[in-house]
Amino acid sequence: MTQSQTKVAAIVALVVAALAVAVFGLQAKGGVTGLLASGRRAPVTIRGPGLPPAFADSEEIGPENARVKIIAVVPIANPCHKATVAALRDVAKAHPEEVHLSLIDFHGPEAGKWMDELGFHCATIYVNGEHTFQLDGRQVVFEQKEGLKYKPEDLKPVVEAALAKPG
């Protein structure tokens, strides 16, 4: 085998290996059809058949007619959002009659409905329909993972400010 034939054979082997990895990975996630057809409206199974889904159940805390409504679409079980999920639950429980929290798992079947309705594409938290706030002279944006554009402890003063507004 010549040197150029060896190079071609190596490239072909790498391409075949990459395709095998891609096909196996897509099969584990429901295939190309499952990924394209899901449109974020249905969970994509990533754990394999027969195992529980890889998302947490949604939660509702507080009365639906509360003055402050929080809609949080975050990956509930993801450690990168653990402190945010705890802060959301804490602020809702601290104001049981005044705050309604809808905590929806970003990977769950309900996430697509909220993403379509509110027009977002990553983990996002809305407080009375807004997700961007001014707090202590800085802009706080409740999207993506905690620590990038917000801190979990930002939730409490934002909710308390909303509660302080007349109405």
pLDDT tens digits for range 88-121: 999 999 999 999 999 999 988 888 888 888 888 8
Is the pLDDT at 35 greater than 60? The verdict is no
Q: How far apart are alpha carbons 118 and 120 in whole angstroms?
A: 6
> Closest by alpha carbon to 66, among 162, 141, 131?
162
Instruction: Kindly state whether residues 126 and 79 are assigned to the same domain.
Output: yes
Instruction: Kindly state whether residues 30 and 65 are assigned to the same domain.
Output: no
Which residue has better confidence, 151 or 35?
151
What domain range includes position 139? 59-164
Structure tokens at 98: 């005044």
Instruction: Kindly state whether residues 24 and 84 are assigned to the same domain.
Output: no
Segment 126-139 mean pLDDT: 95
Phi, psi of 47 (to 5 degrees): -100, -10
Distances (CA, A) of 44 to 5, 82, 107, 112: 42, 22, 8, 12
**Residues 163 and 155: beta-carbon distance below 8 Å:** no
Is 104 strand, coil or helix?
Answer: strand
Of 2-6, 42-46, 151-155, where does mean pLDDT reach its minimum?
A: 42-46
What's the whole-model pTM score? Answer: 0.68
Residues 6+ apart with CB under 8 A from 9: 1
> What integer pLDDT is reported at residue 150 of this predicted model?
96
Q: Given CA atoms 117, 120, 125, 129 in this order, what sign does their dihedral have?
A: negative
Structure tokens at 129: 């329909």
Q: How many domains does the chain have?
A: 2
Tell whether 45 is covered by a domain.
no
